């Protein structure tokens, strides 16, 4: 049985859907601080917080868990610069609690949600996994610290892990049932959609003086269902005895903030009210992945590599759920 920590969040809920579709036994562990109850989609749920080690222990002993996928955590780059303690607590201490509970329960397989933010400002683009790690935000630091802890746990206890370094997760379930719903919404595509729908104040472009083609940040967007598939492949590799590893997940193509807004405008047919503002703390100018390693080693092949599909799936969900999961 698979345990999904943070399984009621954006990426976790899409993974849970994938596991339900595959008929694979699983249970969601979520504190529901940021996760949404409808996002659990009928999967069994344990309400627990990773900051409470005892509650994780209980979950691991109540269910016959064999592999853990850990999505839970705080995820905003800019916020992490302003509130570093929350990030160290949720992302690092919370994960350490999970690792300790896994060790006590004799569990040895973990898939971990890492991030492109571990690299910082790239020296080479597209970024390979062995690129130097110089995170520019506490968010990236906490995720990289967990990756280091994972190496130590493998050496000391034989706990094998696959860290998946997502670039920019986007899109939503193509069936339109699950989607992206953060409060407040800070991610570019949903923020642009909400701004276009008049659900929020006009959005801002954070920084127009970056050394990029049009002065705005460039990111590599990857569809959430393609991320879910990568987790399935990672679980399979661990079950087959693969040693610990780290993989990037992106499409190898960068889009500037202005290009993304243009795409949102094309897909929705709406104008996006926006202004231009200063840079957001912690944002590197360009993040584009080389995902050759996971393609070659685990056979990952994205089904929705084009930005248009990501934006239209996100738009379909939001149009049907104008108030997110509260709709
Ligand atoms: N942006 C704006 N205006 C907004 C929101 C975003 O201009 O209202 C810009 C950001 O400055 C950034 C780009 O759009 O340049 C993408 O921003 P997101 O907040 O959508 O995504 P991030 O690149 O900051 O972060 C995402 C994930 C992190 C992950 C990171 C890796 O949220 O979990 O990618 O860089 F670590």
In order along the chain (327 residues), what is the average pLDDT of each group of 10 residues? 98 98 98 97 96 93 96 95 97 98 97 97 96 96 98 98 98 97 95 97 98 98 98 98 98 98 98 97 93 98 98 98 95
Distance from C-alpha of 287 to C-alpha of 285, rounded to nearest angstrom: 7
Distance from C-alpha of 300 to C-alpha of 249, rounded to nearest angstrom: 9
Asked whether the beta carbons of 65 and 2 are under 8 A apart, the reply is: yes
CA 76 to centroid of ligand 1, rounded, Å = 8
Strands 45-47 and 221-223: unpaired
Q: What's the pLDDT score for residue 282? A: 85
Q: What's the pLDDT score for residue 252? A: 97
CA 9 to centroid of ligand 1, rounded, Å = 17
Ligand 1 pocket check for 119: Cβ under 6 Å: no
CATH assignment of 2-168+223-249?
3.40.50.720
Q: Which structure tokens are listed for 280?
A: 């957001």
CA 237 to centroid of ligand 1, rounded, Å = 30
Ligand 1 pocket check for 256: Cβ under 6 Å: no
CA 251 to chain centroid: 15
CA 307 to centroid of ligand 1, rounded, Å = 15
Ligand 1 pocket check for 8: Cβ under 6 Å: no
Q: What's the pLDDT score for residue 12? A: 98
- Which residues are part of the catalytic machinery? 139
Which single residue is written with the structure tokens 């900051």? Answer: 51
Question: Where in the chain is CATH 3.90.25.10?
Answer: 188-218+252-326
Q: What's the pLDDT score for residue 155? A: 97
Distance from C-alpha of 48 to C-alpha of 202, rounded to nearest angstrom: 36
Pocket test for ligand 1, best of 34, 257, 274, 286 (most atoms within 8 A of CB): 257
Ligand 1 pocket check for 116: Cβ under 6 Å: yes
Q: What's the pLDDT score for residue 47? A: 97
Q: What's the pLDDT score for residue 172? A: 98
Q: What's the pLDDT score for residue 327? A: 87
Ligand 1 pocket check for 225: Cβ under 6 Å: no
Whose CA is closest to 283, among 306, 321, 303, 257?
257
188-218+252-326: CATH topology: UDP-galactose 4-epimerase; domain 1 (3.90.25)
Closest ligand 1 atom, CA of 257?
14
Q: What's the pLDDT score for residue 57? A: 94
Distance from C-alpha of 79 to C-alpha of 186, rounded to nearest angstrom: 10
Question: Where in the chain is CATH 3.40.50.720?
Answer: 2-168+223-249
Q: What's the pLDDT score for residue 229? A: 98
Q: What's the pLDDT score for residue 220? A: 98
Distance from C-alpha of 33 to C-alpha of 94, rounded to nearest angstrom: 14
| Model pLDDT for residues 78-110, shown as the tens digit of each residue | 999 999 999 999 999 999 999 999 999 999 999
Distance from C-alpha of 146 to C-alpha of 241, rounded to nearest angstrom: 22
């Amino acid at each position: 049985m698979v345990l999904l920590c943070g399984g009621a969040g954006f990426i976790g809920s899409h993974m849970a859907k994938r596991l339900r579709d595959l008929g694979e036994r699983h249970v969601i562990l979520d504190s529901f601080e940021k996760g949404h109850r409808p996002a659990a989609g009928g999967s069994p749920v344990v309400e627990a917080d990773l900051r409470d080690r005892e509650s994780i222990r209980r979950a691991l002993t109540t269910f016959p868990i064999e592999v853990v996928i850990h999505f839970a955590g705080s995820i905003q780059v800019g916020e992490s610069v302003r509130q570093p303690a929350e990030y160290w607590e949720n992302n690092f201490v919370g994960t350490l609690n999970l690792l300790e509970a896994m060790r006590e329960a004799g569990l040895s397989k973990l898939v971990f949600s890492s991030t492109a933010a571990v690299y910082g400002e790239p020296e080479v683009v597209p970024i390979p996994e062995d690129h130097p790690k110089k995170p520019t935000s506490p968010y990236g630091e906490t995720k990289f610290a967990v990756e280091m802890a994972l190496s130590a746990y493998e050496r000391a206890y034989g706990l094998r892990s696959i860290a998946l370094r997502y670039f920019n997760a986007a899109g939503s379930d193509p069936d339109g049932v699950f989607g992206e719903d953060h409060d407040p919404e800070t991610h570019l595509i949903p923020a642009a959609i909400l701004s276009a729908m008049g659900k929020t104040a006009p959005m801002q472009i954070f920084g127009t003086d970056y050394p990029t083609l049009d002065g705005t940040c460039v990111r590599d967007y990857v569809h959430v269902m393609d991320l879910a598939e990568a987790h399935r492949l990672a679980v399979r590799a661990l079950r087959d005895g693969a040693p610990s590893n780290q993989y990037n997940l992106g499409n190898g193509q960068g889009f500037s903030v202005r290009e993304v807004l243009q795409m949102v405008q094309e897909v929705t047919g709406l104008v996006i009210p926006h202004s231009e503002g200063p840079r957001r703390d912690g944002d590197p100018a360009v993040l584009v992945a080389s995902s050759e390693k996971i393609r070659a080693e685990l056979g990952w092949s994205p089904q929705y590599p084009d930005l248009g599909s990501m934006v239209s799936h996100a738009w379909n969900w939001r149009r049907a759920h104008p108030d997110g999961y509260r709709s």
